[in-house]
Amino acid sequence: MYDLVLAGGTVLDGSGAPGVVADVAISAGRIVAIGRVDAAEARRYVDVAGAVVSPGFIDLHSHSDYTVFDAPQAVTQAAQGVTTLVTGNCGFSPFPVVPEHASELRAHGGFIDGDMPWDWSSAAEFAASVGRLPLGVNIAPQVGHGALRIAAMGLDDRAPTPAELDRMLALARAAMADGVAGLSSGLIYAPAMYAATDELAAVAEAAAEAGRVYSTHIRDEGDRLDEAIEEALEVGRRTGVRVQISHLKAVAPPNWGRVHAAMAAIAGARDAGVDAHADQYPYTASSTTLTSRLPGWAMDGGVGALVRRLESAQDRARIVADLDARSGRTFLPERIVLSGTPEGPYRKYLGSDVAAIARAVGLTPAEATVDLLRRQGGVASIISHGMDEDDVRAILADPTVAVASDGWVLHCPGTGTPHPRSFGTFTRVLGHYVREAGVLDLATAVAKMTSLPASRLGWTDRGVIREGAVADLAVFDPAVVAGPSTYDEPWRLAEGVLHTLIGGTFVWEDGGPTGAPAGQVVRTGVSG
């Protein structure tokens, strides 16, 4: 007697193969039969004829480790068919925590911190804390290079001493032993931006030794895109680590079209033996912290040091001059929208671009940026409309590029103007880019959300529909599925996903949340 049978759906197994009409039988949280199953053989028999049954979607690039404590049911993800969020990206992870640098680590990810308890030190303790939540999604943490650097040497703009580098590597190895999915870096953010390639390769040895992935927000996604891609590939060449280039893009109009050379470089490296891939979200805007637009020297010492620095008229003038020099390339005031900031004089401008804010306060865009950060304590999130639609489509059409959100909003409804990618990345691909635009076929799209990300993580029992695999599943109507969230109206859940199951338990059923605490922390290489 099976626990559950999903009957009569079109099964897309995640491999990219065409769909077949079949029943999927589940027992004890795993898929145990695929084919024809009689209703009398099931404790529960759910007719899903006309719908697609696929593996649950695995989001390779999420920052939800910072927000899951606030919204553990993760309705924005269940509504999309997402069953696993890989966190700790862009070098940001809330561990390891060492007492002498704890406040610096908290400030490092402060712009997305959803009121975490910070009751851990190690990756294992973080996993235990998350595991006590009534999770509606699986969480697979990575350890961030930025967090490792802070633990070893704080936020200073300098090279590590040999002892500090050894400390980073030891902490990285400890995190691998605790079951993290990989190592990430965020090379546009302080303090990671101060790291040389040699440092990155040294720390990546820990991921390589453990057979884990190295996910990297490369050093430059604009004028120096080619060099930044090459640096990521070089880490792979030196260490043998699996390289995952995060949210591949070319930023600013002068750089549009350069994604073709970037994809060719990644493919060429693969042909030469480097295990390198990329992922992407299906939007022409990014979202991050406004401080990422500042020169590196301004962030030496972290956000606290920046705020103190902004009290100096001389330093403010230096930052303004730097921003003005990059206007039209990496600083695009009319394309940068304020999406989140604490209470303060600039909060009323949420949803406005920097150019419009500057006009409202009677300053130049560079001056307004500096004044905003000064008066808002250095904490401001932005949406930056810097990419080209043709580039988005070219990357998406590549079957070796995974779909990933780079999101972190798990609750809905809410306030503010967050990026729609948290609400609709996966369903936007299925609805807009598959059904409406025909950029890729449905089976390929599903593979890019399931078996491909699973393979990057070295997982063999998730991201596929086969006997013995974990029963993390999505059931959706291909004629309806869509991501209606927009930049102007972000707080809209995905449409067209009928059911989302984690370990055979419904967390989203008949188009609504069940509240079932079926999620878990996925610890790679750790039994039990």
Render pLDDT for 197-220 as a digit per residue (tens, 0 to 9): 999 999 999 999 999 999 999 999
Rounded Cα distance between 104 and 106, Å, is 5
Task: For residue range 47-56, list pLDDT tens digits in order.
Answer: 999 999 999 9
Report helix, strand or coil for 353. Answer: strand
pLDDT at 416 (0 to 100): 86
Q: Are strands 276-280 and 242-245 parallel, antiparallel or unpaired?
A: parallel
Average pLDDT over residues 345-362: 97
pLDDT at 329 (0 to 100): 81
Average pLDDT over residues 510-515: 97
pLDDT at 528 (0 to 100): 55
Domains and CATH numbers, the chain: 57-285+386-509 (3.20.20.140), 288-384 (no CATH)
Average pLDDT over residues 29-38: 97
What single string gives the DSSP state of each residue in 470-490? Answer: B--EEEE-TTT-B----SSS-
What single string gives the DSSP state of each residue in 179-244? Answer: T-SEEEEETTSTTGGG--HHHHHHHHHHHHHHT-EEEEE-S-SSTTHHHHHHHHHHHHHHH-PEEE
Task: For residue range 44-82, list pLDDT tens digits in order.
Answer: 999 999 999 999 999 999 999 999 999 999 999 999 999
Average pLDDT over residues 154-180: 97
Region of poorest pLDDT, from 102-116, 247-261, 279-293: 102-116
pLDDT at 332 (0 to 100): 92
Residue 124 belongs to what H/E stretch? helix 123-131
pLDDT at 147 (0 to 100): 98
Q: Which position has the token pair 């994809």?
A: 263
Task: For residue range 262-273, list pLDDT tens digits in order.
Answer: 999 999 999 999
Task: For residue range 423-477, list pLDDT tens digits in order.
Answer: 999 999 999 999 999 999 999 999 999 999 999 999 999 999 999 999 999 999 9
527: pLDDT strictly greater than 80: no
DSSP label at residue 66: G
Contact call for residues 62 and 87 (beta carbons, < 8 A): yes
pTM of the model: 0.95
Average pLDDT over residues 166-195: 97
Which stretches of 221-341 are DSSP H helices?
225-239, 259-271, 302-309, 313-325
User: What count of Cα atoms within 13 Å lies in the side-chain half-sphere of residue 500?
Assistant: 34
Average pLDDT over residues 92-98: 98
Close Cβ partners of 528 (under 8 Å, ≥ 6 residues apart): none
- The pLDDT > 70 percentage for the chain reads 100
Average pLDDT over residues 212-235: 97
- Residue 336 dihedral angles phi and psi, to the nearest 5°: -105, 115
